[in-house]
Amino acid sequence: MNRAKTAIEKLLAEADIRINGNRPWDVNVHDERFYRAVLRGGSLAFGESYMAGWWDSEAVDELIYRIFVHGLMSKIRFTPANVALYLGTLTRNVGRKSKAFEIGEKHYDSGNDLFERMLDKRLTYTCGYWRNAKDLNEAQEAKLDLVCWKLGLTSGQAVLDVGCGWGSFAKFAAEKYNAHVTGVTVSKEQVELGRELCRGLPVEFRLQDYRDITGNFDHIVSLGMFEHVGYKNYREYFCAMRDHLKDGGLFLLHTIGSNTSGTHTDPWISKYIFPNGMLPSIAQIGKAIEKKFIMEDWHNFGTDYDKTLMAWFKNFDSRWPEIASTYGNTFYRMWKFYLLSCAGSFRARHNELWQIVLSKHGVPGGYESVR
């Protein structure tokens, strides 16, 4: 145990993190099993030991920021959990059609009561656009409007929303632009609540995998869904989008991105938050769209996800007493670690947020970028 403790203390010291220190980002250990577990289990054990209450930090977001900035995760990445996940994604297609609904059941069906308390008034579960926004509601409205501007959306146009959530974009586009929106999601809870929220509007919800979509549309949007596709299916995904996009239309892809090409996500995130997910790289997207789409615009505003996640955590934390009896303390610690660790990751520029505008044949005269 002493050797494990010494190794962890030495590793954290590289990022100016102290064990049982008095600064917000320091780690306060309550259970000595923490050291050996993290040394053997890496990021999976780090998250699980937090869920179990073996350690705390006043500022988990700042702790994770320092860990990523100083590259500590890369020094303990060859753990059994990481190796098993890596080998699994090489031998299996975790994004295959038979697995498509698992993310809906595991994450998005967690409970509408949870997301209603955490998100903005429109239930927008993707990064906000904070350039001129004063709060979360304004940031999400600005993001939705930005998407519509980038598409050049006009009254009466038909839009396909792949991974539509509870219909935040669909409702916004129908109300503000008189668009006709078809939303596709793999979450039963999202379909049920989305239909209620969009009642009376030209919005259709389908409980459907993207490979089963039918119809042709003036434009396509996909906000925060591509992270669930999997690298083995990128080409198939873009082929499907091209098949359903009318000539002259635009496809806007909004996705979290990785600075490096990989085949899997963090093992803790995979196990507890987003099963079968992974983040694409620029190279992986570029290869997948080759000869299928022309890239008209690529917009990175990943630092805005830090602000979005911190706003989500503030909402979640302040309203937790309303749902605590339903979810329990372990869930609270899991969700807190999820939101704050992701905020720290974006703050460190370990992850990015991209909006990519694609066309089938190129916009005549060129596309005018919107910011």
d(CA 127, CA 159): 20
Q: Which two tokens stand for residue 99?
A: 């697995």
Active-site residue, from 127, 148, 164, 342: 342
Q: Are the C-beta atoms of 82 and 191 separated by less than 8 Å?
A: no
d(CA 240, CA 162): 11
In angstroms, what CA-CA distances link 108 with 116, 125, 269, 295?
12, 10, 14, 30
Q: Which two tokens stand for residue 9?
A: 């203390």
| DSSP strands (E only) in 37-121 | 55-56
d(CA 97, CA 208): 11
Q: How far is CA 344 from the centre of its chain?
A: 14
Determine whether 164 is an active site residue.
Answer: no
Residue 319 φ then ψ, to 5°: -105, 5
Report the residue count for the chain.
371
d(CA 353, CA 124): 15
Amino acid at 31: D
Measured on CA atoms in the order 244, 242, 185, 150, is the torsion positive or negative? Answer: negative
Other CB atoms closer than 10 Å to residue 109's CB: what's the count? Answer: 16
Closest CA to 85 of 234, 276, 222, 243: 276
d(CA 207, CA 197): 16
d(CA 125, CA 224): 8
Closest CA to 190 of 219, 224, 234: 224
Report the first-to-last Cα separation within the chain, whole angstroms.
53
Q: Are the C-beta atoms of 159 and 218 separated by less than 8 Å?
A: yes
- Just list the catalytic residues: 342
